[in-house]
Structure 1
Amino acid sequence: MSEEHLCVRCARLGPTCCQSCQIYVGPGDAERISQYVGEPVEAFADFRYPDDPIYLTAHDDDPIWPRTVIREDGHRRVLNRRENGDCTFLGPTGCRLPLEVRPLVCRLYPYDYNQAGIKPRLASGCPVQLLPPGRSLLQELDMNLADAERWHRMLYDEILREPHARLDDLPPGVLPANGATNAATNAPAGEASGAGNGTSDAAAAAATEKG
């Protein structure tokens, strides 16, 4: 890995995903974070309407997501942000939460996914033009498909616990009989195409990506 982390270089381009995105906090996330920081979920998260309303209709390939994550009034539980837009847990050197405590959507990024599993291509928000020659985005971020699949299973099992979940109107066969989601992967994740700039690309992608 290069001496300077990709996320550090990304931050120099402008607001990062930790500074410009609403981050969904699932029931399991809320419990883990609350236990770690010693505070109730209300201290670090709240229900809010999406910054971009297109988020409410951008999940055609994932019918479980809007029926569990998003309440009928369009709000979902997200991490608080400071006045400058920074995530409440963003510190001088990155996230102040340990990896296994961070929200699952944070751990999974830049993997893209739906209820069926991890998608073949990565999300487009990371500045891939800053990668060292011969390095992939996943190598530079020290991420692997096995962890992503585990976190994906956790995420889709835990969103079913949302008290506002509306599962009665799901299409037939979407929800397995045992209540757990099918985390079979579609294909090994590849690199995102093109050279995202980490700022405008990330902001545009955030409207439709999970979070």
Structure 2
Amino acid sequence: MVIFRCILKGYCCKKYWIPVTHLDLLRLKIYANVDIKPSTISLYEASLYDDLTYPQVVFGGEKYFLALNSKDDGSCIFLLRNGKCSVHPYKPLVCRFYPFVYIENGDNISIEVNENALGECPGIIGNKRIIPEDIKSDLTKLARARIQELKMWGKVAKEWNESEYSKKEFDEVIQTFLEFITMKAEEDMKELVKKNLWIP
């Protein structure tokens, strides 16, 4: 059986960049009092990550993934020196899943251990693939919210990409972009609350 307990050492926060949605950023703003500003986010060229199925935003005619910014050493901006996350209770949903992944098959969602995490994540105990039911249940609920949020993010990104602003460079329209996605996030949050899918 697989047992997972995050030991808060930040190994994953040093290795991976963190794709975010407008709702991930709103969560940080509301609950962690993070001022969402240009230095909070970063763009990753979509062409470099062919296997990542995630909504993309366009600036200057080029496609990008929206992500949290990183420090000079490549680690997440919210990773503290002691290896702990400064926004842990409200971190992006993609972070909350690691070291697991969900697989969507119609209305069914299955939870598995992320292959890349095996032998890498020190919080994984046990070498079998069976995941306890309580963890599966919690992650399935999180997956349902995540799936809905990604659909919403896809619509927001599409609306941005079809606007005149997408033809301009990121540095020229960053403030407009942040205001736009914050407004959309506030609208989408209300919808998720109604559907009982909002995750603080």
Tell me the TM-score normalised to structure 1 length.
0.55
Q: Which residue of 2 aligns with 1:71?
A: 57
Report % sequence identity. 19
Q: Which residue of 1 aligns with 2:88?
A: 98
Q: Which residue of 2 aligns with 1:159?
A: 150
- Where do 1:40-189 residues align within 5 Å? 40-42=35-37, 45-50=40-45, 53-55=47-49, 57-59=50-52, 65-66=53-54, 69-72=55-58, 73-91=62-80, 92-99=82-89, 101-116=90-105, 118-119=109-110, 121-128=112-119, 135=126, 144-162=135-153, 163-165=156-158
Query: Structure 2: which 5+ runs fail to align?
Result: 160-190, 193-200
Distance 1:123 1:31 in 2: 27
SS in 2 for 1:90: coil
Q: Is the 8 A contact 2:29 2:35 kept in 1?
A: yes
After TM superposition, give the deviation of residue 88 of structure 1 in Å: 0.6
1:80-130 C-alpha deviation (Å, 9 max, x unpaired)? 11111111111114211133x110000011222344364454212225388
SS in 2 for 1:152: helix
Q: Which amino acid aligns with 1:33?
A: L
After TM superposition, give the deviation of residue 48 of structure 1 in Å: 0.8
Q: Is the 8 A contact 1:48 1:75 kept in 2?
A: yes
Count of aligned residue pairs for this structure pair: 148
In terms of fraction of residues, the more strand-rich structure is 2
Q: Is the 8 A contact 2:99 2:121 kept in 1?
A: no
Query: Structure 1: which 5+ runs fail to align?
Result: 60-64, 167-178, 181-211
After TM superposition, give the deviation of residue 165 of structure 1 in Å: 3.2
Task: Say if 1:137 and 1:45 are closer, same or farther in 2 by CA, change over 3 A.
Answer: farther
